[in-house]
Amino acid sequence: MKEISVHSGKEAFFSYYSTLEEKLQQGDYYYAFAFQSEYQSEEVRQFLKDFHQRLAVKKIDDRAIFNTTIESLAKQTYGDNQNIRLRFKDVKIPVGLVVTKDSLLQLGWQPEPFIVEIKNSVLLEHYHNFFLENWNTNEAIEFARQALARFNLSSPQESLQKINNLQDNHAAQMVADSIEAVEESWAHKHESKEKEFGQKLIGETIKLWSVPRTTAELLEFFVVATGSKKILEIGTSAGFSTLYLAMGASYTGGEVFTIENLAPKIQFAKDNFQKSGLDNIRLMEGEAVSLLDNNALHDIDLVFLDADKENYGKYFDLLIPKLRKGGFVIADNVYDYGHMMKDYLDKVLGTKLPNSQSDKRVKSYTLPMDNGIIVTRKIEN
């Protein structure tokens, strides 16, 4: 087998891609560093758009890292294709580079398109890892590493390989995307004059209030990096963050217990979990205080709090005895709703004053990202 072959000219380029499309099967991947030159030709741009649409039908793990200079053009080209995942950053590769399971493709575009196909296992592994490192070097990963370092912990290298692995969790990722698509339009109006669970104000229209994607990715990475197996979430909503926790747990052999009290959200979450293909999610219906007081959960590795903010302190008191030594509690919304979480903040952060109310069993660190996240670790029983 020749290690290097060249396919030069438009006809050869299109022919090669037609053969590649036939060869790629569900479970395979197509990773591309995509830059500006190929999109200067409308013909090539349309061809690549159609190619990626057909990969979507075959459910190929399809990702591309684009140069930031063409972010708007790339989003316009692939905006109707939910299968292809896009990231934008400046990587120092002079022309396009594609990594598949058995070939490394160096692409060029002038004066006509050409492909240099390289079949070399050492180079293939190098650029496969290079792509994933660039893919995973994002804000969520860096914040997670920052938090872990504060507790004198580091993340195993394989954590980078696993986070957001569409090849393994493609259906769940698609469901997460569908939740994002209705995030702003979904609403539940409670007609009672009394405050309903989930409302911060009487009469407030309840929304999904899912976490931002960066926070969700941090949760997934945290599960993988800490090897967490028993995970508890309080505040399921439509299940967006739950899916990321469960995708992380799919690599650790763990499961996610998630609590929701609002009936419309419970049904929406059930539908999403059923579509996700994940079998490690246990949805618990009802008020968290009652469920935490009576259920058999113990030796929990990681808790994610994203529910009624005024009860975080109460949840903390119930959770700490159930959390194993070394386990984590991640709490959302300290920036936007910290005023409703004062009891919780006093317990996990305290003050430097002699009469500080902080719990001596824990150590905490605040992450300055999204809505504000506090990561708390249990250091003593």
Task: Report pLDDT digits (tens) over 117-176.
Answer: 999 999 998 998 888 878 766 788 888 989 999 999 988 777 766 665 545 687 898 899
Look at residue 328 and tell me whether its pLDDT is greater than 90.
yes
Whether residue 246 sits in one domain with residue 329: yes
Look at residue 40 and tell me whether its pLDDT is greater than 70.
no
Residue that is last in its domain, among 137, 160, 181: 137
Q: Which domain holds residue 251?
A: 140-378
Question: Under DSSP, is residue 87 helix (H, G, I), strand (E, B) or coil?
Answer: strand
Whether residue 81 sits in one domain with residue 47: yes
Whether residue 91 sits in one domain with residue 115: yes
Indicate the Cα dihedral angle 288, 290, 294, 299, nearest 10°. 20
Cα separation, 255 vs 228, whole angstroms: 9
Can you give the pLDDT at residue 43?
Answer: 83
Lowest mean pLDDT among 55-64, 137-146, 152-161, 227-236: 152-161
Can you give the pLDDT at residue 167?
Answer: 53
**CATH number of 42's domain:** 3.30.870.10
Cα separation, 75 vs 87, whole angstroms: 10
132 contacts 236 by C-beta, under 8 angstroms? no
Cα separation, 166 vs 247, whole angstroms: 10
Question: Under DSSP, is residue 247 helix (H, G, I), strand (E, B) or coil?
Answer: helix
Task: Report pLDDT digits (tens) over 291-300.
Answer: 998 777 899 9
Residue 139, amino acid: E
| Domain count within the chain | 2
Whether residue 43 sits in one domain with residue 186: no
Residue that is last in its domain, among 137, 152, 176: 137
Whether residue 144 sits in one domain with residue 122: no
Look at residue 196 and tell me whether its pLDDT is greater than 80.
no
Residue that is last in its domain, among 137, 168, 201: 137
Can you give the pLDDT at residue 160?
Answer: 67
**CATH number of 330's domain:** 3.40.50.150
141 contacts 230 by C-beta, under 8 angstroms? no
